[in-house]
Structure 1
Amino acid sequence: MYGSSSLSRITAAANGEIQAHYDQFQAGVTSAAWSHSHDWLISGGQKGDVKYWRPNFNNVETVDDAHQEAVRDLTWCPNDSKFLSASDDTTLKIFDFTARTCEMVLTGHGWDVKSCDWHPTKGLLVSGSKDHQVKFWDPRTGRCLTTLHTHKNTVTTTKFSPVNTNLLGTSSRDQTGRVFDLRMMRDICILRGHDKPISSLAWHPLHSNMISTGSEDGSLYHYLLDEPNLPAGQMPTVAPYGTTDPTNAPAQVIFPAHKIQYAHGSTIWSLDWHPLGHILASGSKDNFTRFWSRARPGEINYLKDRFHIGEEAAEAQGTWNRGFGRKQMREEEEQEAQAEDESRMDQRQAAESQIPGIQNTATEGQGLPGLLPGIGALQPPPPPPPNASGAPPALPQMDPGRLAAMLSQGGLPPPPPPPGQGQQPPFPHGTQPPPPPFFSNPNMPGSIPPNIAHMFPNPQFPPPGMPPQNFGQQGYPPSGLPGLYAGANEKPK
């Protein structure tokens, strides 16, 4: 395998997408897990909080008191209704995702719990701890079913195989990985070859015999469980399945089938395969995320790149140029900064737009082609009547007692007509006719075009800023109680 030529930095915390876990103490993200439906992401923080995220990285919910210390691992149940968390407070907790409440606390580890996993088909949980133990749990009762004591240092990863669900893979700071058979509750393979503690492990999503591991020295190894790949001078061992007593036979020792000794410059914290199994992603403490794929058929030059033989050796053989690498990194950073500036500019222009979805809205006096057929710019509102501020004329001065008596009798005299106008004739049948539809021209469509429907809250009335059409004479009071401008249920102003 070889690394991609384009290396991308981890930018989630830098651009604020996952920065919601940060506080004045710079407590960051310590774990994250996607739901099986890919509709939700949950993340655990240094302060013991758990946050819910949508795919667009909107933080919609937070469980502040999920744990008392850092959340080191998260995993979902098969139907995404619950999730399991592991913490440095020595506990594991089962949460109801919808209710955001803790349903059960699993206790039994004597030190920090570093990893956990939920079996894809069985009602079974597994956890690994700093106390060197691997424990299995019943999610229905919270009871510890059994404990494995095979590792001699902190257990960093515990993962069930997605293909052969009878297998469990673990990694540890004792520089080994192990594969357990759940049917015998014992290890059947020991993964050796790393010179530093193993910090991460991942099963291949399609091939049950392939495991990838990452180490604290930045190396990335791939193991095939059916190929021991023993180094020279190493005595071969037999798999327990091939013995007459598989329960008591020693585990088979497996060495890596392929090594990427300089995959990263520091600890590889996480590994994950693409669901199709053709790309492996690795995240490291060196602030890089790298993507790996198989070499092309017949290609062998990748064995001399800087990831396999190191930067100095690759530069000596001419397969890598230190100056070009720095230039490429600088160009990528400049491109990212330019893309962020353009994105902020687009957002600012969209916020200044008056019509949603349309930028650079035409101002007063400019036409809006394509919005209303035959109509140009929106018309300004009509001017207020003389000697008025646009409000209806006030009631004449009247004695409060007389006004109360008239109200109790159910009638008031009509208000005086606007200046310069006579009394309006009454409407037939005593009811003012409703206004006509907005598009009264028979040659025009009877409904508002869909591209501007959001501009009109009520299709029977013109938009804000356009004068009413075919209404009665301006200044005549609307229908209702005689002499009242407000509605039947409103108080006069």
Structure 2
Amino acid sequence: MLTKFETKSARVKGLSFHPKRPWVLASLHNGVIQLWDYRMCTLIDKFDEHDGPVRGIDFHKQQPLFVSGGDDYKIKVWNYKLRRCLFTLLGHLDYIRTTFFHHEYPWILSASDDQTIRIWNWQSRTCVCVLTGHNHYVMCAQFHPSEDLVVSASLDQTVRVWDISGLRKKNLSPGAVETEVRGITGVDLFGASDAVVKHVLEGHDRGVNWAAFHPSMPLIVSGADDRQVKIWRMNESKAWELDTCRGHYNNVSCAVFHPRQELILSNSEDKSIRVWDMSKRTGVQTFRRDHDRFWVLGAHPNLNLFAAGHDSGMIVFKLERERPAYAVHGNMLYYVKDRFLRQLDFNSSKDTAVMQLRSGSKFPVFSMSYNPAENAVLLCTRATNLENSTYDLYSIPKESDSQNPDAPEGKRSSGLTAVWVARNRFAVLDRMHSLLIKNLKNEIVKKSGICVE
């Protein structure tokens, strides 16, 4: 995990990335909402009109707005350019856990300890639908990214999927203001329901704290007080449990799909963030803090960035860097891209594939060390479990067919990293953090006696 930015504050209960600017909103347990520039590491603004903890927070995707929901039973819509609250929505009878804007329609979705989920029209500033059915606190509710669905998680141990197509059909257009008369439960005067339960997902043994849709697949992830992360699949007629990820040893606070990779991120009151392989249902990374329980996770909609809120602030982080492994010698840049070692000539701007790398590692090359005297490279792979990290030693072919460069024989060994220290010698940091010196010709290992902490 590459930590990009960290704050110290009261407990962070809600997070939201701005889709275009380098901003992140953090809603705090002490009632303050903070707006941070994570690139400049500065606090831009703060908003403190809520009375009590603020758990729900969300940027609007197009407008200069964000919405917040607090323990004061209030939903507030703010304009960050005007730096003030525009209006307050009242109706919930208990703590508000999450608040989210719809991606297209002028709607806000809120989940509350009053056991209801509400949909509000922020243009007409009215509640247009109330979803009832949970019989305990509703900890989370989110819109589907493209379909007329809502997913909710409750301490009644269920995850529910709601069909809200009836509500959409009453909107003439995405910008239309609703004028229909309907009852408090979302049923209009003619008995047609705006929102109906489509699936009830049962499988968690304790209260469910979070549920989220996959951005493109018919999948749901959930995290609960039974310390489990569950993956569910759904179709038009039913939904079922696919698998369970076990490893957390306290309540799972939040679980989200990685926007672009086959990964799930979860965090917990066990003071850890865990990364899971969706296909294998196994943990591939764990990041721990010594004293802080984690409460919420946020994924940037476009960038390789995540945020996690804990007892004493938040962190903004990446799982891996985008920059490829590279080395520069003279006018030549060597770098790794798409399983090829490539060479870029600064003078002519000619970019050619020098050789194909051997397959077998699912992890990207993390670093490179080039030996110009022997025309050889060390390519280091940093596995999520550091004990599985390896390095490959290649001799670069003198003549290569740039159209179809073959993969030469390379020697793979275990080690956290490797770097050239002389024409015919290189140093390897092994999994015990001891430094080994190896000979290029015969790889006779000489213990250097140095231990790197």
Which residue in the other structure is 2:298 paired with? 272
Write the letter of the residue equivalent to 1:206: R
Which residue in the other structure is 2:177 paired with? none
**Greater RCO, 1 or 2 (C-alpha within 8 Å, sep 6+):** 2
Write the letter of the residue equivalent to 1:281: A
Q: Secondary structure at the match of 1:17?
A: strand
Establish whether residue 222 from structure 1 lines up as the match of residue 275 from structure 2. yes
Establish whether residue 93 from structure 1 lines up as the match of residue 118 from structure 2. yes
| CA distance 1:125–1:303, change in 2 (3 Å) | closer
- Output the CA distance in 2 between the equivalents of 1:185 and 1:74: 25
Establish whether residue 190 from structure 1 lines up as the match of residue 244 from structure 2. yes
Contact 2:253–2:294, Cα closer than 8 Å, also in 1: yes
Counterpart of 2:203 (choices 150, 154, 165) is: 150
Q: TM-score, normalised by structure 2?
A: 0.56
Establish whether residue 55 from structure 1 lines up as the match of residue 80 from structure 2. yes
- Output the CA distance in 2 between the equivalents of 1:153 and 1:301: 34
Establish whether residue 45 from structure 1 lines up as the match of residue 70 from structure 2. yes
What does the per-residue CA deviation read over 1:419-439, in whole Å, with 9 as the maximum and x for residues that have no partner? xxxxxxxxxxxxxxxxxxxxx
Residue 263 of structure 1, CA deviation:
3.9
Which residue in the other structure is 1:17 paired with? 46
- Output the CA distance in 2 between the equivalents of 1:202 and 1:145: 21
Which residue in the other structure is 1:163 paired with? 216
**Gap runs ≥5 in structure 1:** 229-253, 305-313, 320-493
Establish whether residue 110 from structure 1 lines up as the match of residue 135 from structure 2. yes
| CA distance 1:38–1:169, change in 2 (3 Å) | farther
Q: Identify, as 1 or 2, the structure richer in helix.
A: 1
- Output the CA distance in 2 between the equivalents of 1:264 and 1:39: 37
Contact 1:18–1:29, Cα closer than 8 Å, also in 2: no
Q: Secondary structure at the match of 2:141?
A: strand
For residues 366-381 of structure 1, the aligned pairs below 5 Å read: none
Q: Secondary structure at the match of 2:49?
A: helix
- Output the CA distance in 2 between the equivalents of 1:186 and 1:108: 19
What does the per-residue CA deviation read over 1:454-486, in whole Å, with 9 as the maximum and x for residues that have no partner? xxxxxxxxxxxxxxxxxxxxxxxxxxxxxxxxx
- Output the CA distance in 1 between the equivalents of 2:105 and 2:291: 35
Residue 38 of structure 1, CA deviation:
5.5
Q: Secondary structure at the match of 2:283?
A: coil
| CA distance 1:101–1:264, change in 2 (3 Å) | farther
Contact 1:2–1:302, Cα closer than 8 Å, also in 2: no
**Gap runs ≥5 in structure 2:** 11-25, 27-31, 35-44, 167-193, 322-365, 368-379, 387-432, 434-450
Establish whether residue 213 from structure 1 lines up as the match of residue 266 from structure 2. yes
| CA distance 1:172–1:72, change in 2 (3 Å) | same
Q: Which has the larger radius of gyration?
A: 1
For residues 335-354 of structure 1, the aligned pairs below 5 Å read: none
Residue 42 of structure 1, CA deviation:
0.3
Which residue in the other structure is 1:3 paired with? 3
Establish whether residue 28 from structure 1 lines up as the match of residue 57 from structure 2. no
Which residue in the other structure is 1:356 paired with? none
| CA distance 1:303–1:137, change in 2 (3 Å) | closer
Where has structure 1 moved over 6 Å in runs of 4 or more? Answer: 301-304
Establish whether residue 283 from structure 1 lines up as the match of residue 277 from structure 2. no
| CA distance 1:255–1:86, change in 2 (3 Å) | same
Residue 73 of structure 1, CA deviation:
1.0
Q: TM-score, normalised by structure 1?
A: 0.52
Which residue in the other structure is 1:234 paired with? none
Contact 2:223–2:230, Cα closer than 8 Å, also in 1: yes
| CA distance 1:146–1:14, change in 2 (3 Å) | closer
Write the letter of the residue equivalent to 2:98: D
Q: What's the C-alpha RMSD, in Å, of the aligned pairs?
A: 2.7
For residues 430-449 of structure 1, the aligned pairs below 5 Å read: none
Contact 2:89–2:126, Cα closer than 8 Å, also in 1: no
How many residue pairs are counted as aligned between the two chains? 275
What does the per-residue CA deviation read over 1:182-217, in whole Å, with 9 as the maximum and x for residues that have no partner? 12400112111111111011211112x211000102
Contact 1:47–1:68, Cα closer than 8 Å, also in 2: no
Contact 2:137–2:156, Cα closer than 8 Å, also in 1: yes
Write the letter of the residue equivalent to 2:283: P
